[in-house]
Amino acid sequence: MINKKIAESMLVEFDGCDNDRPGSPESPAIWVFGIEPGDSIADKLARSKAGSKLPPSADQSYSIERQLKWPFNQKTFKLLVAIEGETDYKAFAMRELPFVEGSEGYFKGNIYPCACNNVGEWSSETADEIGCSKEIYVQWCNEHRIPAIHTWVKKYQPKVFIGVGASYRMIFSRAVFGREVELEEIQIPGKSQVKTIYSHIDNGCRLVVIPHFSGPYGMNCNRSIQGVGQYIAGFIAANS
């Protein structure tokens, strides 16, 4: 049985998110959601010392300097800079401060808030803390947390919701639209292979699901990231 206190915390607005500025219908932000937070050795040790394995919702140490050390965030910045029609992702990141507490315009979170090294990981320590197997945890999130994220989307109406992890596209669909919808497939050229992304718009809600940034089938080259960013920019403009 999942720990009741942790279950309640996962439904609190912006639990498992990295900053506190989701935008508004009048000034919408670009949202980027992953599957679950990564868990570096350094971060795991830091949380262990603090007595928690769950990430803070608005970590003051989530600085641009720290983010630029993480491959996922580097590639996210490259995607954002392509969406904005620029090329220098470091200059963009230092100027706009994406995902830093108090910064506007960009918002980042995760479908499943518990940090793991990979989607197959579930240590005995984590099982003890959460109170269940990963299968039960994921099922609980799909039944309870996904609808909660959908309420956030309806309330804050992001400019576009970018889901990172193509195999989870129906989960992202439920988070954005409240149900599974048919997504359009788009082919984006990469360095060595074509990348498939997915998009849909309904009642002003825009979803684009992209492959993960790592792995042989992921968005693992600058050409594919730039191409996807340019597509997203056009998708936003055409449906505004």
Domain spans, the chain: 4-238
User: Exposure of 93 by Cβ count < 10 A (0-12 exposed, 13-18 middle, 19+ buried)?
Assistant: buried
pLDDT at 55: 47
Which pTM does this prediction carry? 0.91
What's the whole-number mean pLDDT along residues 40-48? 52
* % of the chain beyond a pLDDT of 70: 90
Give the torsion sign (CA, 220, 226, 231, 236). positive
Q: What mean pLDDT is predicted for residues 108-136?
A: 91
Mean pLDDT of the chain: 90
Lowest mean pLDDT among 2-6, 59-63, 159-163: 59-63
Considering the domain 4-238 in this protein, what is its CATH number?
3.40.470.10
State yes or no: pLDDT of 51 exceeds 70: no
Q: 68-78 pLDDT, tens per residue?
A: 999 999 999 99
Q: Put residue 2 in one of left, alpha, beta given phi > 0 → left and psi -120 to 50 → alpha.
A: beta
pLDDT in tens, 159-172: 999 999 999 999 99
- How many CA atoms does the CB half-sphere of 205 hold within 13 Å? 21
Distances (CA, A) of 162 to 19, 114, 176: 16, 20, 10
Split at pLDDT 50, 70, 90, the class of 43 is low
Q: Between vectors from CA 126 to CA 108 and to CA 136, what angle results, nearest 5°? A: 80
Mean pLDDT (whole number) for 109-127: 90
> Given this model, what pLDDT does residue 56 score?
44
Residue 192 has pLDDT above 80, yes or no: no
User: Would you state the pLDDT for residue 54?
Assistant: 47
Confidence at residue 19, expressed as pLDDT on a 0 to 100 scale: 87
pLDDT tops 90 at residue 111 = yes
Determine what percent of the chain is predicted with pLDDT higher than 90: 75
